[in-house]
Amino acid sequence: MKRAMTKASRGRPAERARLRTLIVGAVLAATPAAAEPSLVLTREPTPRSLRMRPRVLAQAPSLPPRPRPPMPVAPTVSATTAEPIEGLDGLRDVTQPVSFSLNLGYQVDGARPSGRAGLGSPAPVPGRDYSTLRSYGFGEAFLSTRGVVYSRLETYFALRFQAARKIVTDGVDATGAERDVQVTSPIATWFERSGYEFRTGWAEIKDFLPARFGLQKLRVRAGNQFVYGPWILHLDGLYATYEGPTLTASLYGGPRHSDYTRDQTERRPVAGGGSLRIDLRGITNAVPIAVTGEYLTLTESDETGEGQVDTELVQVDWRPRRDIVVIGQIRGVNGELASQRIELRTRYKQVTNFVFDVTRRFSGDWRWDPSLVTRPTQDLTEAKRYLDLGPVLPQLIASARAGTLIRENIDLLGRVAIATDTVENDEPVNTFSAPYFELAGAFEVRLRRQVAFGFSVLSRQTVRPARLEGERILDEHGPIDELPDDSELGEEGFTELGTTLKMTLGARRFSAMVEVYGRNTRYSILYRDPIAPLPETDVRGGGRFTVDAWVGQRIRLFASYDVSSALDTSPDINGYKSLRMTLTGIY
């Protein structure tokens, strides 16, 4: 039937339309008559193709940018300041009227004998020729006051003392009489006998004048003190200084305090001098120049036997940019040009620094102390004084060094220096002014800010007149026709290496360091002994171990142990050793 209807519908379009009408009518008839359309929603429509927009919070109106805080300024501290200073916990409280510090220590020095003979001498006998072990105690005390008795008064005192046991043995004098002979210490130190030494002590008064003309910036210090001028001077006298933004001036005077012996002679040299500094940057930044002039005089004394010495110094400090500093200096002695120096400092990207320095020294300069100058009529054969390196010779020294920081935990340092003498043909020469070339470098690596490893190397090659093998002095009987020149004596060069390992747990808590070093020195050989040849090189090494620990914030414990290897130039001993322990209390 279905197949018949399909065929009929295909053939008759009118009948097909009539059939569709009958079907629609039948469906409508089957619908209940009471079902009327309702316009009330019974559920919320949830279309799947739409998404709700997120809720947007109301934004607050934009505020103006906060002003940048000013750079911190160092606090002005005085004895009357009551507020505590941030960052000084555990350190010496400078607001307290009285501060006291005491160091107590004990040291042991030793030298182990090898039983062999020395260079040109028989084997020393321990206990008679030198002591194999020596111990001594020492201490230092520091006291300072602020505002005691008078609110504008400050004082400072430093005392050093030691207790050493003198080691003696039986001996005879020049007449053959028996007497006690002091045994030499294994290591040469200044601890030869017990006693004390007053290092420094002064009283200073400031802000005691009215501020009407800026006189409140004047301060006066009297007592045993150190003055920094053309030379670091230790004197017992008076020091007055005025410090302003543009003008700084000072005057000082008094007997010189000898630092090389405890005995102060009755006729010590009297020192006097002053300085004047004008900084134009205190007026305008357009002229970044500061000019300094200094003067120092020392009268004749019993210590040196030489006449009065006058020293003048002029220095110019020019800073054209923030990262560039140029310093020029000229110094004279007794009206003659003694030294010239120019220095350039610059910086690149805040972490790399460069320093270039050129110094020229003339024969009119002092030797190593302003009271010891070169006299043209000096006898070169006279006995040398302690630390006297002979007459000063003209010399030119140029050096350059650079340092940088890599990744905030690697420090690099390099240095190169060249020295040459400018001696004329008619001037004498000595071994201490030989030309040389020096090259050095170092680096340090820090791990997690607690462990650091460092390494350094230094090499200096000295230029000396070469002496052939046939020109060397032979050990034979009879007089020597010609002695070598002083310029041929001394070392030909040396190279030294050093490494350090540091560990720290924080400032004023605990730290330790291990240091190992070695040095190889080559000497110019002018004397030849076929039977007992002299060493042509000297290889030595050593190490140091230190421990620094704080017990709380007031007690510090420090210990160091030093040891050296055997010395080729001292075959009679196998090396030195030293142990030092100190206890420091701060109150």
Q: Which long-range contacts (CB under 8 A, 24 or more apart) does 123-128 make?
A: 123/572, 124/572, 127/169, 127/183, 128/169, 128/183
Task: Name which of 578, 583, 495, 505 is nearest 543 in CA terms.
Answer: 578
392 three-state secondary structure: coil
* Bridge partner list, 98: 145
Amino acid (one-letter) located at 43: R
Q: Residue 103 forms beta bridges with which residues?
A: 140, 584
* pLDDT string in tens for the chain (587-residue length): 445 444 444 555 666 666 666 665 654 555 554 445 556 656 655 555 555 665 655 555 556 666 655 544 444 444 444 455 444 454 556 678 999 999 999 999 888 888 787 766 777 777 777 788 888 899 999 999 998 888 889 999 999 988 887 777 777 666 667 777 777 777 766 666 788 888 899 999 988 877 776 677 889 999 999 999 898 999 999 999 998 888 999 999 999 888 766 666 667 888 999 999 999 987 877 889 999 999 999 988 665 556 788 999 999 999 998 899 999 999 999 889 999 999 999 999 889 999 999 999 998 888 778 877 765 545 555 554 555 666 788 889 999 999 999 988 999 999 999 999 887 766 666 777 788 999 999 999 998 878 999 999 999 999 887 665 555 666 666 666 666 666 677 788 999 999 999 999 988 899 999 999 999 998 887 766 666 667 778 889 999 999 999 998 889 999 999 999 988 777 888 888 999 999 999 98
Closest CA to 225 of 157, 301, 277: 157
Q: Which residues sit opposite 154 in a β-bridge?
A: 146, 204
CA separation for the pair 77, 244 (Å, rounded): 18
Helix (H) / strand (E) containing 545: strand 537-551
Using alpha carbons, select from 122, 103, 126 the residue that is nearest to residue 113.
126
Angle at 211 between CA 207 and CA 213, to 5 degrees: 125
Q: Which residue has the tokens 């002229």?
A: 287
Q: What is the dihedral of CA 239, 244, 248, 254, to 10 degrees?
A: 0
For 244-394, list the strands marked E by DSSP: 247-255, 270-279, 289-298, 309-321, 324-333, 336-348, 352-361, 366-369, 372-373
Q: Encoding tokens for residue 321?
A: 């940019």
Residue 186 · residue 130 · CB < 8 Å: yes
> Residue 341 contacts by C-beta under 8 Å, 6 or more apart in sequence?
327, 328, 329, 330, 331, 357, 358, 359, 360
Helix H, strand E, coil C: the string for 497-514 is: EEEEEEEECCCCCEEEEE
Specify the pairing of strand 133-146 against strand 372-373. Answer: unpaired
